[in-house]
């Protein structure tokens, strides 16, 4: 018997790919229910004040309208008056749709119209007559800076004395960057289909990154413990927008409970701009270095917007205390409450903005010191995480720089801005470093092998397009010595084993570890079962003395004694193991992070100011990669979004109305195929025995971090212009 090649580490196609491309994968708004009703949300047109009256008569008179739900007639809600949380809640009091007559932001849901079909519901919604009492609103971060307060964030204390080190430094950079609001725009808008069960319990298909988070939230809010099941087998992208339960979910539940009917509520694309987003920020960075570019001091101060009901925080400035070796560091983070919704985690929350500023400032420092930008990074390379004063569990960032520079051809770059051109086009080469945390959360998984010889592994995680189904199947198949097609992974069901939110790039390290250990426990069960017979060749054997391959178990020392797993199950009945896994103790002594080096080529038309990103090389160190294909897709997607951050994305608010104006995909610009050149994303070897048993750190977020800065730095190299306000649109270059 030749050794079976393990699926671990193979660039396999997605196991759910055929279901997705043939339309058989069902999303939250596609599940049918008998007598289903359709809800349409009506949103506030003012940014602050109160509702004086809502005249619902015309809407209710439309034949086929079942209900117009407002704050006046919503069902009583168990815990609406006491604070409740969800797993991704910010400090404060979460938004409660239809709570009372107060308007907290423009776009706030003020009514749900439920009808026999969606068109009727939308039409009836347009007939509502709402009278408001307006109050002056504040939505402009830049004009409200004086009302800032310290963010409730656990920042590392100041290190050394940054101010005096700055004053002594012969080379200094003191710069300010501003970044706009960005909205998550996954292909699938938010939706909930609530199936009202005959016993009054609810089965809900929701677009979410955390079925158990939504279940617990609804159980608490509606006082329905044990009577709610949330399902989300497929998610059409989320990027953080599904980390918290969004307002369509409690609204759909309210309507279903009031009508005792099944109800679906879907949000329109425009309504995707009426909840969380990446916050607008102002960041000030001061870097001080000696004449060779060796850092002496870093100060990084960020100000972000938040709502008046929650203090949204993200890790925005911490990166400046860990990415480079520096003895004097001061970090500060402030928030300005505005009459807007609370921001929300969006792919690599905090790092996307904070590392943008740090890595642009590092480029400015390279030019101030007259040092090559890559050489500057190597001069300041950090072996330890300065914030935690711990060594890294692994850090192959040097390899990222080296291999990335080699593939990109960095050594052929001339330092001088505007020194490389191709006819009318100025060519610029820029680089930046990326970094993200390698976290692990408690998670559980169950593995069960039945008489058909098939292994079913399950955990209540999600696949938001990232490849969870595929990589968990690979981990389980490798652990049980089964071919991929004999393994099925189940997720997206709150009744499965406990799993954390699918986010933060910690799904492989958390759920993957649980899957691997559940299979490990199942192997022991097979050995125990095989030893039941007194004449078993396995009598007395320990788990490490047997191996599992081709769906068979055998003694390593005596390989002809092998038995098919189905044969064991035929006697013992289905075997099953469920485990809960906590992050390993040995992580505590180390800092854990993923890193990347991003190299970008831009071509700027000198006459028109148009920018094209013609080439990107992204070299990533993320530990052991379970599937280079799905992981590579994650990095490429992050690169595309980083290009969007640098050049396109900006949600514009009309401060007179306090409302987002470009709330659609024709005016909210995201990169399209024609905007994207060559992307070379690859992983460097990184062995890590500490981070978890898989040695995998996770790759969801690292792909975007640093890309925006690398593009901005390339534009400076091409044009000699520093644009410190994102996005870098052509008007800023002319
Ligand atoms: Mo990610 S912002 O944790 O979905």
The structure's pTM equals 0.97
**Rounded (to 5) percent helix, strand, coil in the chain:** 25, 25, 45
User: Which residues approach ligand 1 with their CB closer than 6 A?
Assistant: 209, 238-240, 243, 345-347, 349, 503-504
Shared domain for 224 and 239, answered yes or no, is: yes
Please report the atom of ligand 1 found closest to the CA of residue 503. Answer: 3
pLDDT at site 3 = 47
Atom of ligand 1 nearest to the CA of 347: 2
Could you give the ipTM of this predicted complex?
0.97
- Determine the Cα angle at 145 with ends 140 and 151, to 5°: 105
The string of pLDDT tens digits covering residues 172-183 is 999 999 999 999
What's the whole-number average pLDDT of the chain? 96
- On whether both 97 and 190 belong to a single domain, the answer is yes
Report the residue among 208, 243, 352 best suited for mutation to probe ligand 1: largest number of ligand atoms under 8 A from its CB.
243
Which atom of ligand 1 has the smallest separation from the CA of 504? 3
Do the domain assignments include residue 42?
yes
Domain that holds residue 551: 441-582
Residue whose Cα lies nearest atom 4 of ligand 1: it is 240
Q: How many angstroms separate the alpha carbon of residue 6 from the centre of ligand 1?
A: 30
CATH no. for residue 501? 3.30.365.10
Confidence band, pLDDT 50/70/90 cuts, at residue 560: confident
Asked if pLDDT for residue 5 goes beyond 90, the answer is no
Domain-terminating residue out of 242, 273, 304: 273
- Of the residues 253, 273, 293, the one at which a domain ends: 273
What does the alpha-carbon distance between residue 334 and residue 315 come to, in Å, rounded to a whole number?
Answer: 12
Does pLDDT of 1 surpass 50?
Answer: no
* Predicted confidence (pLDDT) at residue 78 exceeds the cutoff of 80: no
550, with CB counted inside 10 A (0-12, 13-18, 19+), is middle
Average pLDDT over residues 273-290: 98
Residue 127 lies in a domain: yes
Question: What does the pLDDT read at residue 84?
Answer: 73
> CB-based contacts of 198: which residues, under 8 Å, 6+ apart?
none
Distance CA 549, CA 576 (A): 18
Residue 109 and residue 213 in one domain = yes
Distance, in Å, from the CA atom of 631 to the CA atom of 683, rounded to the nearest integer, reads 9
**Among 706, 636, 634, CA closest to 430:** 706
Say yes or no: 554 and 448 in one domain.
yes
Alpha helices in 287-423 (DSSP H): 351-369, 373-379, 397-408
Distance of CA 244 from the midpoint of ligand 1 (Å): 10
Distance 240 CA to ligand 1 centre (A): 4
> Is there a domain that residue 513 lies in?
yes
Closest ligand 1 atom to Cα of 209: 4
pLDDT over threshold 90, residue 77? no
CA of 503 to the centre of ligand 1 (A): 4
Lowest mean pLDDT of 184-193, 501-510, 552-561, name the range: 552-561
pLDDT at 29 over 50: yes
Instruction: Indicate the top mutation candidate among 347, 350, 594 to test ligand 1's pocket, ranked by most ligand atoms within 8 A of CB.
Output: 347
pLDDT value at residue 224:
94
The answer to whether residue 540 sits within a structural domain is yes
Same domain, 516 and 367: no
Secondary structure string (H, E, C) spanning 88-152: CCCEECCCCCCCCCEECCCCCEEEEEEECCHHHHHHHHCCCEEEEEECCCCCCHHHCHHHCEECC
Which atom of ligand 1 is the closest one to the Cα of 240?
A: 4
220-238 pLDDT, tens digit per residue, is 999 999 999 999 999 999 9
Which atom of ligand 1 is nearest to 345's Cα?
2
* pLDDT(538) > 60: yes
Instruction: Provide the pLDDT for residue 76.
Output: 81
Q: Is residue 395 part of a domain?
A: yes
pLDDT digit string (tens) for 449-485? Answer: 999 999 999 999 999 999 999 999 999 999 999 999 9
pLDDT band at 149, cuts 50/70/90? very high
- Looking at the chain, the whole-number percentage of residues with pLDDT higher than 90 is 95
Active site residue 701: yes
Asked whether residue 3 is domain-assigned, the answer is no
Ligand 1 atom with the smallest distance to the CA of 505 is 3
Q: How many angstroms separate the alpha carbon of residue 247 from the centre of ligand 1?
A: 18
The residues, ordered by sequence, that sit 6+ positions from 515 with a Cβ below 8 Å of its Cβ are: 445, 447, 457, 459, 472, 475, 476, 479, 489
Residue 719: is its pLDDT beyond 50? Answer: yes
CATH number at residue 248: 3.90.1170.50
Does one domain contain both 609 and 575?
no
Say yes or no: 405 and 471 in one domain: no
Q: 180: CA distance to ligand 1 center in Å?
A: 19
Print burial letters for 136-169: b (CB count within 10 Å at least 16), e (below 16). ebbbebeebeeebeebebebbeebeebeebbeeb
pLDDT of residue 2: 45
Pocket test for ligand 1, best of 350, 700, 703, 704 (most atoms within 8 A of CB): 700
- Looking at the structure, do residues 551 and 664 belong to the same domain, yes or no? no
pLDDT tens digits, one per residue of 675-684: 999 999 999 9
Q: What per-residue confidence (pLDDT) applies to 81?
A: 67
Test site for ligand 1: of 235, 240, 344, 462, most ligand atoms within 8 A of the Cβ: 240
Q: Which of 310, 437, 502, 701 is catalytic?
A: 701
Q: How far is the CA of 346 from the centre of ligand 1 (A)?
A: 6
Asked if 484 and 631 sit in the same domain, the reply is no
Domain end, chosen from 582, 614, 645, is at 582
Do 200 and 73 share a structural domain?
yes
- Ligand 1 centre to CA of 293 (Å) is 35
When pLDDT is averaged across residues 361-372 and rounded to a whole number, the result is: 98
Residue 498 domain-assigned (yes or no): yes
- Tens of pLDDT, residue by residue over 105-130, are 999 999 999 999 999 999 999 999 99
Residue 4 has a pLDDT of: 54
Q: Does 359 share its domain with 455?
A: no
The reply to whether 294 falls in a domain is no
In this structure, the answer to whether residues 423 and 357 fall within a common structural domain is yes
Each residue's pLDDT tens digit, 33-67: 999 999 999 999 999 999 999 999 999 999 999 99
Q: How far apart are the C-alpha atoms of 640 and 632, rounded to whole Å?
A: 12
| Cα separation, 330 vs 284, whole angstroms | 12
Residue 83 confidence class, pLDDT cut points 50, 70, 90: low
Answer yes or no: are the C-beta atoms of 453 and 565 closer than 8 Å.
yes
């Amino acid at each position: 018997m030749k050794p079976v090649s393990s699926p671990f580490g193979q660039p396999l196609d997605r196991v759910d790919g055929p279901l997705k491309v043939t339309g058989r994968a069902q999303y939250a708004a596609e599940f049918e229910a008998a007598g289903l009703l359709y809800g349409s949300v009506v949103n506030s047109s003012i940014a602050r004040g109160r509702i004086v009256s809502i005249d619902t008569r015309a809407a209710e008179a439309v034949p086929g309208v079942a209900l117009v739900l407002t704050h006046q007639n919503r069902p009583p809600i168990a815990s609406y008056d006491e604070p409740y949380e969800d797993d991704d809640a910010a400090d404060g009091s979460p938004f409660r749709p239809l709570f009372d007559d107060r308007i907290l932001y423009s776009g706030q849901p003020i009514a749900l119209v439920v009808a026999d079909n969606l068109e009727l519901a939308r039409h009836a919604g347009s007939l509502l007559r709402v009278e408001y009492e307006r109050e002056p609103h504040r939505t402009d971060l830049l004009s409200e800076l004086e009302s800032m307060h310290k963010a409730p964030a656990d920042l590392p204390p100041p290190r050394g004395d940054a101010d005096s080190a700055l004053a002594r430094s012969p080379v200094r950079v003191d710069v300010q960057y501003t970044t706009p609001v960005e909205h998550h725009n996954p292909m699938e808008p938010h939706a909930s289909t609530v199936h009202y069960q005959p016993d009054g319990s609810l089965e809900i298909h929701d677009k979410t990154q955390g079925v158990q988070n939504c279940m617990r939230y609804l159980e608490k809010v509606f006082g329905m413990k044990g009577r709610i099941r949330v399902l989300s087998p497929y998610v059409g992208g989320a990027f953080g927008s599904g980390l918290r339960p969004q307002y369509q979910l409690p609204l759909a539940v309210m309507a279903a409970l009031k009508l005792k009917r099944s109800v679906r509520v879907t949000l329109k694309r425009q309504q995707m701009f009426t909840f969380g987003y990446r916050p607008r920020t102002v960041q000030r960075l001061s870097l001080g270095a000696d004449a060779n570019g060796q850092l002496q001091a870093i100060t990084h101060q960020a100000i972000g917007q938040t709502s008046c009901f929650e203090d949204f925080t993200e890790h925005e400035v911490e990166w400046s205390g860990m990415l480079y070796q520096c003895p004097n560091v001061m970090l500060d983070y402030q928030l300005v409450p505005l009459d807007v919704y609370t921001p929300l985690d969006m792919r690599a929350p905090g790092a996307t903005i904070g590392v943008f500023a740090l890595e642009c400032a590092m480029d400015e420092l390279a030019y101030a010191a007259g040092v090559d930008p890559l050489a500057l990074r190597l001069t300041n390379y950090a072996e330890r995480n300065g914030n935690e004063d711990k060594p890294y569990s692994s850090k192959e960032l040097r390899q990222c720089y080296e291999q990335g520079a080699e593939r990109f051809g960095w050594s052929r770059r001339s330092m001088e801005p505007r020194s490389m051109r191709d006819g009318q086009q100025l060519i610029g080469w820029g680089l930046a470093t990326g970094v993200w945390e390698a976290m692990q959360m408690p998670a559980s998984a169950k593995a069960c092998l039945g008489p058909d010889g098939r292994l079913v592994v399950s955990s209540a995680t999600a696949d938001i397009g990232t490849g969870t189904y595929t990589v968990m199947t690979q981990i389980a198949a490798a652990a049980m010595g089964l071919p991929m097609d004999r393994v099925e992974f189940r997720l997206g069901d709150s009744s499965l084993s406990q799993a954390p939110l699918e986010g933060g790039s910690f799904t492989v390290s958390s759920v993957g570890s649980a899957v691997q250990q559940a299979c490990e426990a199942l192997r022991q069960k097979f050995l125990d079962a095989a030893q039941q017979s007194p004449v078993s060749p396995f009598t007395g054997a320990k788990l490490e003395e047997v191996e599992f391959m081709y769906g068979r178990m055998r003694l390593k020392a005596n390989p002809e004694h092998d038995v098919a797993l189905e044969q064991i199950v035929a006697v013992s009945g289905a075997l099953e193991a469920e485990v809960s896994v906590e992050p390993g103790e040995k992580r505590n002594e180390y800092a854990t992070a993923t890193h990347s080096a991003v190299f970008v080529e831009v071509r700027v038309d000198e006459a028109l100011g148009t920018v094209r990103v013609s080439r990107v090389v992204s070299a990533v160190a993320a530990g052991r990669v379970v599937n280079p294909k799905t992981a590579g897709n994650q990095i490429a997607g992050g690169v595309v979004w980083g290009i969007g951050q640098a050049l396109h994305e900006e949600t514009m608010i009309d401060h007179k109305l306090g409302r987002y104006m470009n709330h659609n995909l024709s005016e909210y610009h995201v990169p399209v195929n024609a905007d994207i050149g060559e992307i070379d994303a690859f992983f460097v070897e990184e062995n890590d025995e500490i981070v978890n048993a898989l040695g995998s750190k996770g790759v969801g977020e690292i792909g975007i971090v640093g890309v925006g800065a690398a593009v901005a730095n390339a534009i400076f190299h091409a044009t000699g212009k520093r644009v410190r306000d994102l996005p870098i649109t052509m008007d800023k270059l002319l």
